[in-house]
Structure 1
Amino acid sequence: MTDLARSAEAAATAGMTPLRLGTRASRLATTQSQTVADAITAASGVPVELVHISTEGDRSSAAISQLGGTGVFVAAIRQALLEGAVDIAVHSFKDLPTTPEPGLVVAAVPTREDPRDALVARDGHTLGELPSGSRVGTGAPRRVAQLRALGLGLEIVPIRGNVDTRIGRVLGGDGAQGDLDAVVLARAGLTRLGRLAAITETLDPLQVLPAPAQGALAVECRADDVRTRELLAALDDAATRACVVAERTTLAALEAGCSAPVAAYAELAEGEDGPELFLRASVTALDGSDGVRDSISGPPADAERLGRELAAELIDRGAAELMAASR
């Protein structure tokens, strides 16, 4: 028997008190959270139970930008964590405000899924095959801006709802015809829900650059909870954390919220002197009429510096004005 198996068996025998993991109740959120819960138990033998928490973003049908954007899916969960109602919280990292929450710490950033966007289109179309005037649904200003900038003559339709609801707007169901020709979603969510077969094209970042931290999860706990922090450390992936830090530092330095038309995508590759982080970012006018994009590279240990420097370059090229116009 391995040490891990012995640890799990001992925990079960001892009747160890489960850790309480706070999560939104959507199918995607609970799937993500259960994956983290299972990983904690596999690594430590400590059982984990999910606690469903309703957030402002879940209770409202308004556009995220109208709700204030940043934090609407995480504030209630963070409050429950601070109050001790739960021990751990799992968030889609792109939903977290870039300003740290006093008393909390992101103790683990697990290996992330493919961060690219994906198209689900009628008749198997790719983005370039959609006829001019096709109705394409998305709720993200970043996607709206970049899709319009492609100049394909698409009609962009604002949408809300879970993954299945959005796909249903294209593929229909129960004999009903969908009212959209395509939707754009995060590929990571489709992967986690087992819906990869619905994808008709995974979008090249040269066309549509992902949101900062897209595809990554943030596992939070209280900063003073040393035992839980130690348990979660086993889930942390250094490469993912470096990429996400670079992307989110760019977003923070631009002073933009998670609903701004800002994109950032970092990758690690082997350079001449070891691992190298390559970071791309863009800011696009909401109507697609203008935009700035640039890139930078350097050691993964310098992720924050790279993010700040890239943001400064984008600001010098007019990013602030583009964001102000989008508001």
Structure 2
Amino acid sequence: EEDAALDFMSDALAARGWQVDDWTVPMSELAGEPGFCDSGGDLVAIRSVTGTLDAAGSGGKSLILQGHLDVVPEGPAEMWTAPPYDPVIKDGWMYGRGAGDMKSGDTAALFAVDAIRRAGFAPEGRLHYQSVVEEESTGMGALATLARRYRADCVFIPEPTGHTLVRAQVGVVWFKLRVQGKPTHVAYAGTGANAIMGTFQLLTALEELCETYNARAADHPAYKGEEHPVNFNAGKITGGDWASSVPAWCEVDCRMGLLPGWSVEDVKAEIAETVARAAEAHPFLRSNPPDIVWNGFQADGFVLENADAPETALSAAHKSVFGTDGPEDRAFTALTDT
């Protein structure tokens, strides 16, 4: 669905004289890369667009400017004051799905380079501008650029962080719970097993696991003092076939956070153990255990380290614009393509 946006960025870069690399890679070719996330078959290939400006000299540092073009679902149309994909400008702000996250950062980065070049300057180091997709679901767009062997001394990702520097961000594990029930007519509900109600028991156990994670976070060097940095979310639920039948199935798409330094595999094992223990306490599920499908993000947390030189440059730019020292550090409770 992002092809039109990728076409737009490819054309915009070409019109400005960037060397454009527009490529598509099958997911199967990314499977061996560190950080690969299985989409459960929802994705067969990833398209990315990168523009390159060669260095004007030999003494500069190379830089990647990266932004994503995909967006989160728009939700109920009636909750919007204007159609989400027909942006409007009101009081100096643009409203529309993806305007802030992160078309604003995408365009700001591109226009910043335009301004530098119009002023008669040229970067002393090689410059890449990367337009990627899948930031919201798997991170495979960013991974595709790494597999393409794009590298630089620094990567700057202009996400909408309120002029703060993301010093740390959580990792994320996505998974789907598939829960069985025993169908029967509601007149004989006591002889069946309600998959939807059984699912609630599993979700309650996972919420309790999340609270143990937040207790651990109190000792984490990047997150101590942060209120509830690890979050669990049951984000999508489907189940049953008819109001008068005890439901035989239920599926829930879930997301669990994890802190930097924690192992994705360890968290997955704890999730699986929690679900199994909750199922064992259920009269039907103990003999019909739910399935867990690991799909989407399986991402580690991140802490920014060893970046003194780019941080100094960013601080100087921040002070020249805002007149104050900064930017402030932020421990992010979501994740980005970092």
Q: Normalised by the size of structure 2, how large is the TM-score?
A: 0.21
TM-score w.r.t. the length of structure 1 is 0.22
